[in-house]
Amino acid sequence: MIKLQVIGHLGKDCTTNVVNGKNVINFSVAHSERYKDASGNQKEKTTWVECAYWTDRTAIAPYLKKGQLVYAEGSPEVRGYTKNDGTQGTSLTMRVLSVQLLGGAKGEAGGDDAGVPSNAAAESDDLPF
């Protein structure tokens, strides 16, 4: 098994759907890195990961809001697609095995805005989800 781990901010509020009788929470995570190019100019690169979390524990969904910092891990898959302009593109997707809330939304000071303790694991027995 190949395992992907990502820490980043959610790009938008999650969506919850039922597919073939199973619950799935879909969300996207952005991870940004800053670096200097060969000329010494500051650059930033953002990688997006489209996530699908197949679970019966959908009570975490209200906490997966745009800007929320999360840790997610699971199995990666690279998918090819045709862009609107006809060129080929690729996207990184992940079938999520676990997700953790890590703190407040991007730009907020202190803990998270959802009232859930930071570092709370979605699989913890102490939480309602």
Q: Tell me, what's the pLDDT at 89?
A: 87
β partners of residue 69: 9
Residues 6+ apart with CB under 8 A from 109: none
Overall CATH class of domain 4-32+43-121: mainly beta
Low-confidence ranges of the chain (pLDDT < 50): 109-129
Q: Is 36 left (phi over 0), alpha (psi -120 to 50) or beta?
A: beta
Average pLDDT, the chain: 83
Choose among 81, 80, 116, 78: nearest CA to 99: 116
Q: Tell me, what's the pLDDT at 105?
A: 63
Choose among 73, 64, 91: nearest CA to 10: 64
Q: Tell me, what's the pLDDT at 1?
A: 82
Give the predicted TM-score (pTM) of the model. 0.73
Decide the pairing of beta strands 68-82 and 88-105. Answer: antiparallel
**CB atoms inside a 10 Å sphere around CB 74:** 23
DSSP string, 8-67: EEESS--EEEEETTEEEEEEEEEEEEEEE-TTS-EEEEEEEEEEEEE-S-GGGGGG--TT
Q: Tell me, what's the pLDDT at 25?
A: 96
Choose among 20, 76, 33, 69: nearest CA to 51: 76
- Listed by start position, the domains of the chain span 4-32+43-121
